[in-house]
């Protein structure tokens, strides 16, 4: 009986083809099959290094069916290399379904280190890197975007160049002084890292949107300051005594003081 093969997850350059590692090249040469997002793009990379191999497409729309096929091949003793168009597979790229299927089938999964736009941007941002989180692509809905920007850790996210100004405008409304780095075209000829505050960068990119692939790095949200509720609560009481409804009074005072309307209402009625 043929023993199981394995899956090798291979990160590829995010821009500069010289960033590929020797281990990744060796894995691609040795693989029985290379699963990739775009066979033309991966084919060009392989040709650049004189690597030949059997390529099969593996992208979001065919992940489930292709994963079942690849797991069967690995069970039969083949080595499958997984690549995405750029960077580390699974990080906002296809691959999760296949890795999970291999783990469920008790097949070996080897992950090779290599280029990552998220890590490169984090380090280049000069923002705190001891605690950070990756958000993939920033959400489009305002409430979800505000929640992302409320992170107490440094936030790293991909963003469309067409939406950079709008996203930064939301952040500038919430916290105009929040430190931000806009990292674009990392490792490429026109690489640029612009550091500044949310308000100034929102204004800059409203005038001239960035070009190319963008990674936003946003500094941690400041810790909430303690609010002395007693003066605000006293104001709510006086409004209620004058005939205002408790919830309306709580919202009016909250708008003026920055205190939470819900907290004021509960303190008044609790």
In this prediction, residue 191 has a pLDDT band, given cuts at 50, 70 and 90, of very high
Quick one: CA dihedral 37, 73, 43, 110, positive or negative?
Answer: positive
For residue 109, give Cα distances in angstroms to 77, 80, 102, 180.
13, 10, 7, 36
pLDDT in tens, 7-66: 999 999 999 999 999 999 999 999 999 999 999 999 999 999 999 999 999 999 999 999
pLDDT in tens, 72-93: 999 999 999 999 999 999 999 9
In this prediction, residue 105 has a pLDDT band, given cuts at 50, 70 and 90, of very high
Number of H helices, E strands in the chain: 11, 10
To the question of domain 122-218 being in CATH 3.30.950.10, the answer is yes
Token pair for 75: 């069970």
Give every CB contact of residue 229 below 8 A, 6+ residues apart in sequence: 259, 263, 264, 267
The DSSP secondary structure of 133-177, one letter per residue, reads: EEEEEPPSSHHHHHHHHT-SSEEEEEE-TTTHHHHHHHHHHH-TT
Per DSSP, 122 falls in state H
Domain boundaries along the sequence of the chain: 6-111, 122-218, 229-269
In this prediction, residue 4 has a pLDDT band, given cuts at 50, 70 and 90, of confident
Contact 97, 64 (CB under 8 A): yes
Same fold? 6-111, 122-218: no
CATH superfamily, domain at 6-111 = Tetrapyrrole methylase, N-terminal domain (3.40.1010.10)
User: Which helix (H) or strand (E) is 14 found in, with range?
Assistant: none
Rounded percentage of the chain residues whose pLDDT exceeds 90: 85
Per DSSP, 37 falls in state S
Looking up tokens 């303690």 gives 226
Give CA–CA dist 200/142, Å, rounded. Answer: 20
Q: Within 13 Å, how many C-alpha atoms sit on residue 61's CB side?
A: 2
Average pLDDT estimate for 104-121: 96
């Amino acid at each position: 009986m043929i023993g199981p093969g394995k899956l090798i997850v291979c990160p590829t350059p995010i821009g500069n083809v010289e960033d590929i590692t020797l281990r990744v090249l060796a894995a691609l040469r040795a693989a029985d099959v290379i699963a990739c997002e775009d066979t033309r793009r991966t084919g060009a990379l392989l040709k650049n290094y004189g690597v030949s191999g059997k390529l099969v497409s593996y992208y979001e729309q065919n992940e489930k069916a292709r994963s079942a096929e690849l797991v069967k091949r690995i069970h039969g003793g083949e080595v499958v290399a997984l690549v995405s168009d750029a960077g580390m597979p699974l990080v906002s790229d296809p691959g999760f379904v296949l890795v999970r299927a291999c783990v469920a089938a008790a097949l070996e999964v080897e992950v090779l280190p290599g280029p990552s736009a998220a890590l490169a941007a984090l380090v280049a941002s000069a923002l705190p890197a001891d605690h950070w989180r990756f958000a993939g692509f920033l959400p489009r809905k305002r409430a979800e975007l505000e929640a992302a920007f409320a992170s107490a850790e440094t936030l790293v996210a991909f963003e469309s160049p067409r939406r950079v100004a709008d996203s930064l405008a939301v952040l500038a409304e919430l916290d105009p002084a929040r430190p931000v780095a806009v990292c674009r075209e990392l490792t490429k000829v026109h690489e640029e890292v612009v550091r500044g505050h949310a308000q100034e960068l929102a204004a800059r990119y409203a005038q001239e949107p960035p070009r190319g692939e963008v990674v936003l790095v946003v500094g941690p949200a400041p810790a909430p300051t303690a609010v002395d509720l007693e003066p605000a609560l006293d104001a709510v009481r006086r409004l209620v005594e004058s005939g205002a409804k408790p919830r309306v009074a709580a919202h009016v005072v909250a708008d003026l003081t920055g205190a939470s309307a819900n907290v004021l209402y509960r303190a008044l009625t609790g």
